Structures are given as structure tokens and as C-alpha cells.
């Protein structure tokens, strides 16, 4: 067993009065793809957003328990949220490039974090990030055109490039392919497979085929509880719980 990158211990979360997560205990392994599956409203996106404290923005959201990344509790009072998010990047459901040039989209975060001093360094950084997101060849001749002019799948890969330009060690993906067509989805999946050598990837997905295709571990959530967690192959072939089986065989959800 590899070392756990992220350990979640007895995590409870409330939106106002309603409890959305009822004490989650789980460990995510380094440099693997973990898929979070489950029906809508089961808390998988909520859990994902706990990992870079995106839930902090929601008023009335309260958390109990621990989330350890590399052994450090990210909810400890001395933790700087801004700094945390440079280690834990995020790709969203709907591609959301900034309405700026393709170059600026990638260069923005390195610039605010001071990762490149000279413009030649920045050019290099942008190129590396775009190459690693396998979009360099498609955009290298139009780096100054707006990021929003790209197709949906290209936009999503641009968003991934933007995220890896900060050199995080964890990347959270919230249904990254749900707004894309099958061809664009295949490209993103291929990309995720390449990226997992360097990053720990946690991905929420609605598509069970997708989870089966690209993830190493799968966690099944239902009504704010973690029902089952384990090797993807095992979850999809011999699930231990009846609920898991019902869900993956399409009996509900």
C-alpha cells in the first residue's frame, strides 16, 4: 500500500442546519486517480470542495473533523487558504477560462505567486504547462487570442494547463467532462492518465464508465455517507455493499 496523501478523519459538514456529510473517514493515495461517485446531492462535490477549502466561501457552512494533506490539518487556524490553494489546484465542471488571452490565462497564477521573474521564464512556464495539458500544438500560433474563443474541450484543457502552471501536488476535478462531447472527453481522460504520474488527482464524476476507465480507487457516496471505498476494479466487479451494487448496475441513481 502506498502512503496516503490525503487523510480525512471523521469529517462532518453542515450547510446551515442541514448536515451534508456525516463523518467521512477516507485516505487518498499519492499519484493515483481517485473517483468519487454517487447520485446527485450525495455530498461528493461537497467533499471535494473541502479539500481546497472552497466551501469557506459559502456562508453558513460549518465543518468538524480533520482533513490532513501530507500530515498537516488544512483546517488548522494557522493555515493560509491562499497558500493551500496553490498546493491543491481545482478544475471545474464548466470550463471557466478568464476572458483574457490564452497566454494570460496560464500566466496569471504564476505571476501573482511570483513563480517567474523574467518574461522568458514566463514564456517557458506557459509553454510547459500547455504542453503538459496536451493543448500546446493547438494553441501555439494563437496565444494572444481570447481563451473563450476555444472549443469546450480545448477550454477545459486550458483550465487544466492553468491549474498545473502553479505546480500543485493535488488536483481536484469536479465533473471535468460533464459539459463536453465524447471526443473531447476522451482527450481529457487521456490527459488525466498522463498527469497522474505527477499529481494526486481526486475527481468527481457522474459517469460510472469514466470512473471505471481512468480511476485507480473509487469511493461511492450516498446521502452524505461514504458507503464503500476501494480499488476501482473491485468496486465495479465485486462490491461488498448491496447499495453500491445497485448503483453501479443502474438500479437507481
Partner 1 sequence: MSLQINANMKRRYAAEKRFKAYAITALALAGAFLIFFFTDMISKGLPALQQAEILVDVHYNDTSMKSYKKAVDKPYRSIVSRGYLRTLPLYMEDHPELMGTDQSQWVITTGDVDQYLKGKPNRLKKRHQKQIDQLLSEGKVQLAFNVGFFTNGDSKMPELAGIKSAVIGSIYVLLLTIAFALPIGVMTAVYLEEFAPDNRLTQVIEVNINNLAAIPSILFGLLGLAIFINFFGAPRSSALAGGLTLALMTLPIIIITTRASLKAVPDSIREAAFGLGASRWQTTWHHVLPLAMPGILTGSIIGLAQAMGETAPLLIVGMMAYVPDAPGSILDAATVLPAQIYTWAGESIRAYEERTAAAILVLLSVLLSLNGLAVYLRKQFERRW
Q: How far is the CB of 167 from partner 1 (least distance, A)?
A: 11
Nearer to partner 1, 79 or 186 (CB): 79
- Measured CA to CA, the distance from residue 36 to residue 141 in angstroms comes to 37
Count Cβ atoms below 10 Å from residue 85 Cβ, excluding itself: 17
Nearer to partner 1, 90 or 227 (CB): 90
Do the Cβ atoms of 58 and 13 come closer than 8 Å?
Answer: no
Residues of this chain that interact with partner 1 (CB under 8 A) are: 52, 54, 57, 59, 82-86, 89-92, 94, 96-99, 108-109, 112-113, 148, 159, 162-163, 166
Q: How far is the CB of 52 from partner 1 (least distance, A)?
A: 7
- Measured CA to CA, the distance from residue 217 to residue 173 in angstroms comes to 15
Supply the DSSP string of 145-176, one letter for each residue.
Answer: SBGGGS-HHHHHHHHHHHHHTT--SEEEEEST
Nearer to partner 1, 171 or 248 (CB): 171
Which residue in 249, 233, 222 sits closest to 40, CA to CA? 222
Nearer to partner 1, 110 or 239 (CB): 110
Q: How far is the CB of 95 from partner 1 (least distance, A)?
A: 9
Q: How far is the CB of 80 from partner 1 (least distance, A)?
A: 10
Amino acid at each position: 500500500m502506498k502512503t496516503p496523501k490525503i487523510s480525512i478523519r471523521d469529517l462532518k459538514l453542515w450547510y446551515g442546519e442541514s448536515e451534508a456529510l456525516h463523518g467521512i473517514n477516507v485516505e487518498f493515495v499519492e499519484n493515483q486517480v481517485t473517483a468519487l461517485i454517487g447520485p446527485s446531492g450525495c455530498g461528493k462535490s461537497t467533499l471535494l470542495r473541502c479539500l481546497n477549502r472552497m466551501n469557506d466561501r459559502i456562508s453558513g457552512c460549518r465543518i468538524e473533523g480533520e482533513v490532513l494533506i501530507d500530515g498537516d490539518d488544512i483546517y488548522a487556524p494557522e493555515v493560509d487558504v491562499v497558500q493551500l490553494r496553490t498546493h491543491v489546484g481545482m478544475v471545474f465542471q464548466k470550463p471557466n477560462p478568464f476572458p483574457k488571452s490564452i497566454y494570460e490565462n496560464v500566466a496569471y497564477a504564476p505571476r501573482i505567486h511570483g513563480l517567474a521573474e523574467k518574461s522568458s521564464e514566463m514564456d517557458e512556464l506557459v509553454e510547459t504547462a500547455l504542453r503538459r495539458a496536451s493543448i500546446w500544438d493547438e494553441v501555439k500560433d494563437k496565444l494572444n487570442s481570447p481563451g473563450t474563443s476555444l472549443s469546450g474541450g480545448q477550454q477545459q484543457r486550458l483550465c487544466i494547463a492553468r491549474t498545473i502552471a502553479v505546480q500543485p501536488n493535488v488536483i481536484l476535478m469536479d465533473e471535468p467532462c460533464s459539459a463536453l462531447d465524447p471526443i473531447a472527453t476522451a482527450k481529457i481522460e487521456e490527459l488525466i492518465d498522463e498527469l497522474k504520474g505527477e499529481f494526486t488527482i481526486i475527481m468527481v464524476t457522474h459517469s460510472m464508465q469514466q470512473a471505471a476507465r481512468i480511476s485507480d480507487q473509487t469511493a461511492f457516496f450516498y446521502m452524505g455517507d461514504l458507503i464503500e471505498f476501494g480499488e476501482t476494479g473491485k468496486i465495479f466487479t465485486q462490491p461488498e455493499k448491496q447499495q453500491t451494487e445497485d448503483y453501479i448496475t443502474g438500479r437507481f441513481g
